[in-house]
Amino acid sequence: MQGRGGSTGLLLAAGAGRRYGMPKILVPGWLEHSVAALREGGCGPVYVVTGAARPNLPDGAREIHCEDWFRGIGVSLHCGLANIGENPERVVIHLVDYPDIGPAVVSRVLQSSGDELARAVFNGRPGHPVSVPRCHLAALTKSIQHQDGAGPYLRAHPTVAVECGDLASGQDVDTQESIND
């Protein structure tokens, strides 16, 4: 199945979630919700980068296991980008610990991206998902450092800011206490 315009979803979910108290991929409902947000928002196929935990994935999601996940989010992102095994029109990068991001956010980012880098922003604050067109994939992959994801690359290149604050908070949940913040 191909998504809208050949978009491939890449869900980063490899971390141990030390501050949260468990790998966030294991938080009930988060994995399923994130995969559904990508799929229903216009991505297909959807890949999930695993690491600290390897649960059963939702139907149709494909696993990319990152052996060196503990070295940082950049390693997980690099592993995912290097192993999607296709030549997608674009890759939509999302993180499992943004539980209020739904299909409408993914769809809006995809509709706004065209041939440009695009990322969801929430009341002006940069967040996820991020849409990376094919023309940027090789350079992004080459630029990734262990502890940094796509952020440095996005800051160094023109990126369309897609306001999504009317659709979600875009809150990155790092601790169980932050769920209620």
Q: Please work out, in degrees rounded to the nearest 5, the angle formed at the alpha carbon of residue 83 by the alpha carbons of 159 and 155.
A: 20
CB within 8 Å of 72: residues ≥ 6 apart = 145, 146, 147, 148
Contact in structure between 92 and 63 (CB atoms under 8 Å):
no
Give the HSE-up count for residue 31: Cα atoms under 13 Å, Cβ half-sphere: 24
Q: 27-78 pLDDT, tens per residue? A: 999 999 999 999 999 999 999 999 999 999 999 899 999 999 999 899 999 9
Which pLDDT band, with edges at 50, 70 and 90, does 179 fall under?
A: low
Distance of CA 15 to the CA centre of its chain: 13
Could you read off the pLDDT of 68-104 as tens digits, one per residue? 999 989 999 999 999 997 788 999 999 999 999 999 9
154 touches 117 (CB < 8 A): yes
Q: Which of 9, 5, 8 is nearest to 112 (CA)?
A: 5
113 vs 91: which has the higher pLDDT? 91
Structural domains in the chain, sorted by start: 4-180 (3.90.550.10)
Letter for the amino acid at 177? Answer: E
Across-strand partners of 8? 91
What DSSP character marks residue 167? T
Q: How much is the mean pLDDT over the chain?
A: 91
Instruction: Classify residue 158 as left (phi > 0), alpha (psi -120 to 50) or beta.
Output: beta
The CB-side HSE value for 164 (13 A sphere, CA atoms) comes to 30
Residue 168: other Cβ atoms inside 10 A: 18
